[in-house]
């Protein structure tokens, strides 16, 4: 969907005279947001709607289901997913701390109004840690020649989810960039955790330990 050219000119003018509530915007926030809103995305907008509608309780339910399934499939992968989910809590704390205002209708087209503060984007954090941690758990189980597919799919999902928030007028580009870096950085921290801090990779560890305890 492309927004009218006249609206673009008006918003470009307003960008040069940003109101006080948007004084913390980066110079490229408004131009990039306008470009993404005016770009003819075609059928991709259906994917944007899907990711944008995955919010609040839906994110919580999907995230919890992913953690449980990972625990059933691989105990260590479940722990990694669970710890990775903490990044969404960090997102909420940072939002309250920075209290950055969301885009307003005088600068962008607001397709999906969203409550709360803007930075960082919770969707960007969520889809980044979810896609990255699932790819990290699945890739080692595939043949080396197929592993790149998992990572490419994870990257595409993350990028589309980030663009969708700007396209909908719910976030500034710097919001989704901050959310992506937060989610990716937290995943890197989780994977950096020493092996001895995490449970063994399979349920055999549980059964073996039970036998040792009972025999002792």
Would you name the residues annotated as active-site residues?
123, 171
With beta carbons less than 8 A apart as the criterion, state whether 59 and 21 touch. no
What are the start-end ranges of the H helices in 54-203? 57-73, 75-84, 86-98, 122-138, 147-167, 173-192
d(CA 216, CA 18): 72
Q: What span, in angstroms and rounded, lies between the C-alpha atoms of 24 and 31?
A: 15
- Helices 29-38, 5-15: axis angle to 10 degrees equals 170
Residue 86 to residue 183: CA distance in whole angstroms:
9
Contact criterion met (CB below 8 Å) for 76 and 186:
no
Rg (CA), the chain: 21
179 neighbors 120 (Cβ within 8 angstroms): yes
């Amino acid at each position: 969907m492309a927004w009218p050219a006249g609206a673009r000119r008006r918003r470009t003018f307003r960008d040069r005279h940003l109101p006080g509530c948007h004084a913390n915007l980066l110079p490229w926030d408004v131009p990039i947001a306008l470009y993404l809103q005016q770009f003819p995305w075609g059928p991709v907008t259906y994917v944007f709607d899907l990711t944008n509608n995955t919010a609040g309780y839906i994110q919580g339910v999907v995230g919890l289901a992913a953690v449980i399934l990972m625990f059933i499939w691989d105990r260590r992968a479940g722990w990694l997913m669970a710890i990775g989910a903490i990044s969404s809590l960090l997102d909420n704390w940072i939002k309250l701390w920075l209290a950055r205002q969301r885009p307003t209708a005088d600068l962008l087209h607001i397709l999906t109004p969203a409550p709360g503060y803007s930075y960082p984007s919770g969707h960007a954090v969520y889809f980044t840690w979810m896609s990255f941690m699932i790819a990290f758990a699945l890739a080692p189980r595939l043949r080396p020649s197929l592993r790149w597919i998992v990572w490419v799919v994870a990257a595409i999902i993350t990028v589309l989810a980030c663009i969708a928030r700007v396209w909908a007028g719910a976030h500034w580009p710097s919001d989704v960039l901050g959310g992506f870096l937060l989610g990716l950085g937290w995943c890197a921290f989780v994977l950096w955790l020493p092996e001895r801090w995490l449970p063994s990779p399979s349920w055999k560890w549980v059964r073996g330990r039970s036998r040792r305890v009972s025999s002792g």
